[in-house]
Structures are given as C-alpha cells and as structure tokens.
Amino acid sequence: MFLHVLVNTAVANITTSFLWFALTFWIYAETRNVIATGVIGGAYMLFVSVFSMFFGTLVDRFRKKPVMVWATFIALIVFILDSAYFFWVGEGAITDLTGPAFWIFAVVMLAGAVVEQLRNIALSTTVTLLVPDDKHANANGLVGTVQGLAMLVTSVFSGLSVGFLGMGWTLVIGVTALALTMLHLLTLRIPEREIVHVEQVTKWVDIRGGWRAVLAAPGLLALVLFTTLNNFVGGIYMALMDPYGIDLFGVQGWGIWFAVASTGFIVGGSIIGARGLGRQPIRTMLIVAAGIGVVGALFGIREWGWLFIVGIWVYFAFVPAVEAAEQTVIQRVVPYEKQGRVFGFAMTFEAASAPITALLIAPIAQVWIIPYMRTDAGQAQWEWLLGTGQSRGIALLFLIGGAICTVLALLAFLTPQYRLLARQYEASAPAAGVEPAGAEDGRTTA
C-alpha cells in the first residue's frame, strides 16, 4: 500500500513541479532577469515555511488520506483559477515585470504549489504508519528516488513545453494531469485507525506541541538547526542554478540537461532504498553534506557545460541521503502521533532559510557581482580561479556557498549534540517484531 501512496504522491509532485519549473523557465527566458527567478524561488520556500506548522498540525489531527485528497483538490482549484487568469489577462501583460499581472499570476501559482507540500508531510508520516522501523531508511530512499524521477520528468517536459508550446498549453497540460491524479487518489485505501486527541485543546497551528516534541528527543533541535543552516547555502543554488543553466544551454537545452542531471536523484535514492543509511544516519548525513559542499563549489569553476552537468548529477545523488537521514531519525525518535507537527516544525525553519538567502543573493548577483565579473577588472582578478565566460559571477557565488556548506558539516561533527542524538537514535530502536506505529488494532492518539 505504501508504494501506491508513494506513486500517487510522485505523480502529484510531478504535476506541481511541471507548472512551477515552467514558470521559472518561462519568465527567465522572457526577461533574462535573475531577480525575478530568485524572488519566485524564495517566495515559494517562504510560503512553505509560513504554512508548514499548520500543515503538520493537520496531518496529526486528521487521517492521512482525507488530508491528501483535500490538498490535491485545493491545489487543482487554485491552478484552474490561475490558468483562467492567464488567458484572461494575456501573455504580454504577464511578462511585464513592472506591472501587477505577473506577480498576481506567480503568487497564485505559488499558492497551489505550496498546498501540495501538505501531501509531502503526510507522506513522511505514512512511512511510520505502513513500513517496519528497520526499513524506514530504505523507504525514505525510495521517496528520494521518486522525487528525482519527478524532477527528471518535469525539467524535460517543462523546458520542452515552454519552448515549443508556450505557457498557455503548459497550464492546460498541468491542470489535466493533476485532475487525473486526484481521481486515482480517491481509489486508494490507507489503513489508519481512529485518531483520539489526548490533549484537551488541539490548536490548528500547534507550534508549542511541535516545539515540545522536538525538545523531547535530545539533540533533535540541533539536527533541525544544522539542516536550516545548510539550507541557507542551498538558497544560492535555488536563485542561480536555473539562470546559469539557461545561459549555458538555452531553455529547451537546460530542461533536457537538467533531466539528465536529475537521474542523480534516482541513483542516490535507489542506493539508499537498497542499502539503507547504515547504523548511524546522522553520521552519513554529515559526511554527505560535506561532499555536497565540495561539489557545489566546483561545478561552476569553469564555464564548461559537461562540468556543470556532471557536478549537478553528483550533487543530486547526494541530496536524498541528507533528506532521508533526517526523516529516518524523526520517524524513530518522535512518537507517531506527533510526527506531523515535528515535520512541520522542521520544515518551517528549514524552508525559511533558503528563501532568505535567495532573496538576498539574487539582487546582489544581478546588480553587482555578475556585472563586475563581466568587466575587464573582474575577469583579470578572478580568471586564475574561475576562468573566463559570461557567468563567472554566478560561479563565484557557487564557490563561496559550497565552501560554507563544507565547513558547517565538518564543524557539526565536533558538537556534543551530534553525539547525543546519535546515542538517542540507537536507544530508540524498537524491539524485534514490533508493528509499524498506527497500524495496530485500536486507535491512534494525537
């Protein structure tokens, strides 16, 4: 049953990402403005941060299938309304960044994409519900695999759809696919018992409950903080990866090559799905995070298309291990009935970090660093390290971000919180033969 839920969620994510990628590709191709792409990506993650605790509370308060159905239905309605607005206002008005039409169109699409994140939180808790504890890492690896597949499919089809069909037909395709996904979801059955709320008052946004659940597991707050700091660096890639790729390959070419690089997600997730994360997922996560920093610093060090694609492939192959490690730890050390709030709490801070960086970096890159690195003085100063080309300003930011990521990961090994959480993870291992939480006879408390 978990595989059915996983596949349906993957298709829903493909549809949402298809539209979101298309918006980013389309507006950069029309305007060549990295501020626009940075603001779009940053605003998306900021909205995810704002709503994550609400989403996590919903996941704990209600059964998982109704949550997924309503999330899909609301996203579908929002995308239908946004598509109608696009055709009503017209493409010419929406591509004018100085007018309100583009920002209305982008914000409404952002709302639909953010609602879909509710399904991802619910999916993380269904791993605990439907999968034995010793297979959690493997299941989380499969989640990374399907996310990579979604990214592969969406990048190819978003680039080709925008390049050859335009934004209008892209919207029609996305809305149709999401409607079919919802119809399939209605046929699925998730075996979950009645939820009984043990707290006298259950708030719609239970920040205090999420905070207490995080503090109850020694060292878990440090894990969230580390991932948050790591995502600050990720904001650089969020803001600048698509502009860099489009400058190198064009819209259609970048869509195809991004899909090739996205197979790294599939390979990385598949390896975790088959082999797990070892006895200490946290140690694995920090080692991989340091590797991500090194790769991110180097994949733009020369303006060579093959170097960028190979580097992105390796980068994407590493990412599922980091995400799966955090999910695996939370699924073991946090009681099932509180996991939605903990995942929401973690996402609130982790999602907020990347847009802060993206919103800061995009204007700095557009106004200062990119123009400077295209001057004779800038090229002469940095040619020894970054070579020559039109995108050396973005490459410099990649280098700085990667170096920071590596240092953070290595320093985390020296903290007492790392050792504390590692011991807590081992101490929380269930006895052999224990069924997945929430799937036993009786009722699930929340």
Over the stretch 9-54, which tens digit does the pLDDT of each residue have? 777 777 777 787 788 777 777 776 767 766 776 677 777 777 777 7
pLDDT higher at 186 or 361: 186
Over the stretch 42-88, which tens digit does the pLDDT of each residue have? 677 777 777 777 777 787 777 778 888 888 898 899 999 999 999 99
Amino acid at 257: W
Q: Which two tokens stand for residue 84?
A: 């109608």
Q: For position 110, what pLDDT does the model report? A: 82
* Spatial contact of 393 and 365, defined as CB atoms under 8 Å apart: yes
Helix (H, G, I), strand (E, B) or coil at 375: coil
Cα dihedral 360, 364, 369, 371 in deg (nearest 10): 150
Q: For position 351, what pLDDT does the model report? A: 66
d(CA 50, CA 417): 27
Average pLDDT over residues 267-284: 84
Average pLDDT over residues 194-207: 52
Helix (H, G, I), strand (E, B) or coil at 360: helix
Q: What is the residue-averaged pLDDT of the chain?
A: 78
Q: For position 444, what pLDDT does the model report? A: 45
Q: For position 80, what pLDDT does the model report? A: 93
Chain centroid offset of residue 253 CA: 23
Average pLDDT over residues 163-169: 81
Q: For 445, list phi and psi in degrees, rounded to 5.
A: -90, 150
Amino acid at 225: L
* Spatial contact of 408 and 226, defined as CB atoms under 8 Å apart: yes
Average pLDDT over residues 336-356: 72
d(CA 413, CA 358): 27
pLDDT greater than 50 at residue 398: yes
d(CA 128, CA 279): 18
Average pLDDT over residues 239-266: 81
Average pLDDT over residues 369-380: 86
pLDDT band at 250; cut points 50, 70, 90: confident
Longest Cα–Cα distance of the chain, Å, equals 72
d(CA 397, CA 1): 44
Place of tokens 């946090």: 334
DSSP one-letter string for 159-212: HHIIIIIHHHHHHHHHHHHHHHHHHHHHT-----PPEE--SS---SS-HHHHHH
* Spatial contact of 401 and 354, defined as CB atoms under 8 Å apart: no
* Spatial contact of 245 and 257, defined as CB atoms under 8 Å apart: yes
Average pLDDT over residues 332-338: 77
- Every domain of the chain and the residues it spans: 2-190+205-429
pLDDT band at 205; cut points 50, 70, 90: low
pLDDT greater than 80 at residue 286: yes
Average pLDDT over residues 412-419: 85
Helix (H, G, I), strand (E, B) or coil at 444: strand
pLDDT band at 276; cut points 50, 70, 90: confident
* Spatial contact of 167 and 270, defined as CB atoms under 8 Å apart: no
Average pLDDT over residues 324-331: 82
Q: Which two tokens stand for residue 284?
A: 């694995």
CA distances from 375 to 24, 158, 247 (A): 28, 34, 18
Over the stretch 87-144, which tens digit does the pLDDT of each residue have? 998 877 877 777 788 888 888 888 888 887 777 777 777 777 777 777 777 777 777 6
The domain 2-190+205-429 belongs to what CATH superfamily? MFS general substrate transporter like domains (1.20.1250.20)
Amino acid at 177: A
